[in-house]
Amino acid sequence: MTTTAHGVSAASPPPRVHIPGYRIRRLLAASDRASVYLAQHAAHGVCAVKVVSPRLASQARFRERFFAAIERARLLDHPNIVRVLAAGGEDETLYMVTEYLRGGDLDSNLAAGLHTQHLLKAVTQLAAALDYASARGVMHLGMKPGNILFKAQGAALLTDFGLSPLLAELDDRAVENAQDGEAGGWAAYASPEQVSGEPLDVRADLYGLGVVFHRALTGRLPFVEPTAVGGSAAAPVLPLQWAPFTDVFRSMLARAPADRFQSGAQVAKALGSLRTAGLVPDVTIRTNPVTAREIDVVAGAEEDERVGLTARRARRRLTAWAVPLALLVIVVAGGVWYAERQPAVWERALASVGLVEHPDVVLAWQEAEVLGKEASSGLAAVVDASRRVLTLAPGHQGAARLIAEATEKWRAEVRAALAAGDADAAAAKLNELGAVFPEDAELPTLFDLLNDHRQAKRLLADTASLLAGDGLSHPPSADRAIATYREVLRLAPENAEALSALNDIATFYGALAARAARDGELSVAMENMERASAANENFEGAEAVRTTLSEAEALREQIAALLREAAALRERGALIEPPGDNAAERYRRVLATKPDNEIAVQGLAEVASQVQADFANLLEGGELDAARDLLERAAASGIGDDRTTEMNARYDSELARIEAVARLVSAAETLCADGYITGPSLDDNCVARLREVQRLDSANADAIRLLSVAATRLHTVAREAYDVGMKEDGLRYLDLALTVTPGISRWRQQRQRWQRELDGETRAGR
């Protein structure tokens, strides 16, 4: 049974599976040994789940080696290696989770048409991936087209490190098929030393890459009769058009490892030299046959009896791998006569050998350009049209630019709608952006802005209802309105409605202050002026009101009395409360009338500094509720917008730190439970998360506990590996355990003992 990365064989589909935490969407591929499903996971998003057949999963030896291979693969973090996200299984269920690539495998790309330059780029990328893995002690040993996948953007990636030969090795039927040399079997791509059981290094994987490369170019395996040592000694004879690659294949497919390229970097250099010298044929390789029916469909014409006869003859001449014959089909089917009368067919034939741009690409790009210029086009329509272009031509710069421009346009329109106060329009634009690009880096910021504007809108509506009921002349309602409008401006600094309302309140109470001053009611006048200044200290007519107050006969004495009262209140500790009888309000009342009074300015600054110090002490003590209460009282007392803004920022920062610690601890617990102790990457594992926790909270008890658990887990794995003969792996895991907790002396002693034993075995082997 054979499959591709995105196709299912004709045999009966495997039974439905259930894996906790994963929503299985559909079957992608199936074989006797494993099935691959498209799935959805809360943390991983869209992913691929490979489920091993129960027949293999039930074998204890297979399970042990399966998890060992997965653990090694999870250490790999390279742009051309498919990431392993998780693995698990109980009883007869055994599975591995990887990232999902939408670009299909090598065979499906060849079937659709793959340009030689793209193929060479893929081989270069895969060679770099093999070098990277080899440097970390990991071999692939399962090179075949089905294990070479592509991203939608065209990059090539390797998957199933160490799994393909393992699946076949313990499956008798798979071994029989592999020995028959079938194109999909791993043994057809295995190096001579791999087949004969000799020591292996990266050169074995480069041999397999060479077989894949040869099959992609020529449509056949390089050695017709595989032998126990991996094929004949003679280098394969290439068709004339691929003759420039003769030396490359001679080095990649040499029987002796010493005669091959010694690294993937050497492969890349050799292919780069061919490109630089202009020796790479400018053609597109397509494995699907080019049929007369396809020509008729493209041309959009009904063939007459003569053309039909010619097309039938052409079908008999075409083969699956004769890509250059696409042009010949046109000649056989009518030559110049047919090309002149069916230009679309002629263009497709020229495109198939890389001589002109494919008409499908031209039409798709024209559609995308039209959608991009139409103001009524949705983001999804523009992006989908551009992606269709990129599917046909992965390197199309215009389509990539159009996606970027459309995305930026949508972001700008979201901001413009928010600036205009139209939260509904902003939400519609933002939801469309999120649907098309759910991972866009600016989404969280834009959603935060939208939430702020919605909160501001609710506050404005509530305050309008309050003032409609009580009116501006009700001081408590006016004070609440001022505080609310200030909060609106914090959320939306340019909100015109809040600015206008504050100016109206300031003008209203400024007029009341001037009237009270003229009537000799200085205390009332100063209270009203204080409220006006709190709303807008620079309201229209403010200076005239202050002049009126200053000219009052008893003003000086009133100010002196207020300053004495403020000093007494500070001595009693009444800095910002109780409301109406605290030092801050006395100083504010003075400054509302005499903004330049030095004693009041300094006194209010001292009050603010003391309040900030108390606030900082509460935060450091972890008393968040008390700190928040003090912050609200400080804002109401009017110690200054700069001070309360700084306190708000410190409170938010502390809250974010606490939440970050909680998230990191939770993530570390999950990673530790899943077995991700120090992998799959340096910054995405249990220990890395716990070190981040300790950076934020050095004495965090959970971090200390989990680090001990992680180290113990690593030590257990080390001991188990060493006991079953995987001594080098055991030593490596013990080193990881000591890296996490270096202070355990018995582990250091154990490591010295193991190293001595391993050195002794090495000397004995010599």
Q: What are phi and psi of 159, to 5 degrees?
A: -130, 170
Average pLDDT over residues 665-676: 88
What angle do the packed helices 496-518 and 522-535 form, to 10 degrees? 170
Residues 698 and 663 in one domain: yes
Q: How would DSSP label each residue in 250-303?
A: HHHT-SSGGGS-SSHHHHHHHHHHHHHTT-S---EE--S---HHHHHHHHT---
Average pLDDT over residues 664-692: 86
Closest CA to 98 of 15, 22, 202: 22
Residues 103 and 251 in one domain: yes
Residue 168 is predicted with a pLDDT of: 60
Residue 553 is predicted with a pLDDT of: 58
Average pLDDT over residues 9-30: 74
Residue 245 is predicted with a pLDDT of: 95
Vertex 105, ends 235 and 188: CA angle to 5°?
35
List, in sequence order, every residue forming a beta bridge with 3; answer none if it has no partner.
none
Distances in Å between the alpha carbon of 169 and those of 164, 166, 389, 613? 9, 5, 42, 70
CA dihedral 331, 332, 335, 337 (to 10 degrees): -140
Q: Which residue has the higher pLDDT, 284 or 145?
A: 145
What is the spatial distance between Cα 506 and Cα 270, in angstroms, rounded to a whole number? 78
Provide the 8-state DSSP code for 28. Answer: E
Is 533 within 8 Å of 479 (Cβ atoms)?
A: no
Vertex 493, ends 489 and 495: CA angle to 5°?
75
Residues 277 and 393 in one domain: no
What is the spatial distance between Cα 360 and Cα 347, in angstroms, rounded to a whole number? 10
pTM above 0.75, yes or no: no
Residue 445: inside a domain:
no
What is the spatial distance between Cα 229 and Cα 479, in angstroms, rounded to a whole number? 91
365 in helix, strand or coil? helix
In our burial notation (b when 16+ CB lie closer than 10 A, e otherwise), range 259-284 reads ebbebbebbbebbeeeeeeeebbebb
Closest CA to 674 of 686, 688, 662: 686
Residues 327 and 252 in one domain: no
Q: Which residue has the tokens 């969280």?
A: 444
pLDDT tops 80 at residue 145: yes
Average pLDDT over residues 231-247: 76
Mean pLDDT over each residue of the chain, to the nearest integer = 81
Q: For residue 393, what are the domain limits?
A: 360-440
Cβ atoms within 10 Å of 27's Cβ, excluding its own? 17
Token pair for residue 409? 């346009």
- Residues near 95 by beta carbon (within 8 Å), at least 6 away in sequence: 17, 19, 49, 50, 51, 52, 87, 88, 89
Residue 325 is predicted with a pLDDT of: 43
Q: Which residue has the higher pLDDT, 760 or 323?
A: 760
- Structure confidence at residue 342 as a pLDDT band (50, 70, 90): very low
Q: What is the pLDDT of residues 507-549, one digit of tens each?
A: 999 999 988 888 778 788 889 998 999 999 888 888 888 888 7
Residue 229 is predicted with a pLDDT of: 44
Residue 196: inside a domain:
yes
What is the spatial distance between Cα 722 and Cα 379, in angstroms, rounded to a whole number? 56
Average pLDDT over residues 36-57: 90
Q: What is the pLDDT of residues 349-386, one digit of tens each?
A: 555 544 445 667 877 888 888 888 877 788 888 888 88
Residues 243 and 112 in one domain: yes
Q: Which of 337, 356, 375 is the last residue of a domain?
A: 356
The answer to which of 306-310, 623-627, 671-675 has the lowest mean pLDDT is 306-310
User: How, if at all, do strands 84-88 and 95-99 pair?
Assistant: antiparallel
pLDDT tops 60 at residue 268: yes
Residue 93 is predicted with a pLDDT of: 86
Q: Is-cis flag, bond preceding 475, omega within 30?
A: no
Residues 46 and 179 in one domain: yes
pLDDT tops 80 at residue 646: yes
Closest CA to 339 of 330, 348, 329, 350: 330
Residue 564 is predicted with a pLDDT of: 93
Q: HSE of 381 in the Cβ direction (CA atoms, 13 Å)?
A: 11
Residue 554 is predicted with a pLDDT of: 65
Residue 504: inside a domain:
no
CATH number at residue 712: 1.25.40
Residues 93 and 233 in one domain: yes
- Structure confidence at residue 169 as a pLDDT band (50, 70, 90): low
pLDDT tops 50 at residue 144: yes
Residues 321 and 406 in one domain: no
Residues 377 and 418 in one domain: yes
Average pLDDT over residues 611-637: 90
Residue 289 is predicted with a pLDDT of: 57
Closest CA to 170 of 63, 87, 30: 63
Residue 528: inside a domain:
no
Given its phi and psi angles, is residue 141 left (phi above 0), alpha (psi -120 to 50 degrees) or beta?
left
Average pLDDT over residues 237-257: 91
755 in helix, strand or coil? helix
Is 100 within 8 Å of 48 (Cβ atoms)?
A: yes
Closest CA to 148 of 131, 137, 161, 139: 161
Residue 14 is predicted with a pLDDT of: 53
The answer to which of 82-91, 547-556, 576-585 has the lowest mean pLDDT is 547-556
Residues 40 and 189 in one domain: yes
Q: Which of 356, 378, 407 is the last residue of a domain?
A: 356
Residue 357 is predicted with a pLDDT of: 56
What angle do the packed helices 343-352 and 325-332 form, to 10 degrees? 150
CATH number at residue 61: 1.10.510.10
Q: What are phi and psi of 597, to 5 degrees?
A: -65, 115
Residue 739: inside a domain:
yes
Cβ atoms within 10 Å of 72's Cβ, excluding its own? 19
Residue 235 is predicted with a pLDDT of: 61
Q: Which of 330, 356, 382 is the last residue of a domain?
A: 356
Residues 597 and 668 in one domain: no
pLDDT tops 90 at residue 201: yes
Residue 160: inside a domain:
yes
36 in helix, strand or coil? strand
Residue 670: inside a domain:
yes
Average pLDDT over residues 461-477: 87
pLDDT tops 50 at residue 551: yes
Residues 323 and 264 in one domain: no
Residue 420 is predicted with a pLDDT of: 78
- Structure confidence at residue 31 as a pLDDT band (50, 70, 90): confident
Residue 203: inside a domain:
yes
Token pair for residue 237? 């004879």
pLDDT tops 80 at residue 183: no
Give the number of domains in the chain: 5
Q: What is the pLDDT of residues 709-757, one digit of tens each?
A: 888 988 998 899 899 889 888 998 888 888 888 888 999 999 999 999 9
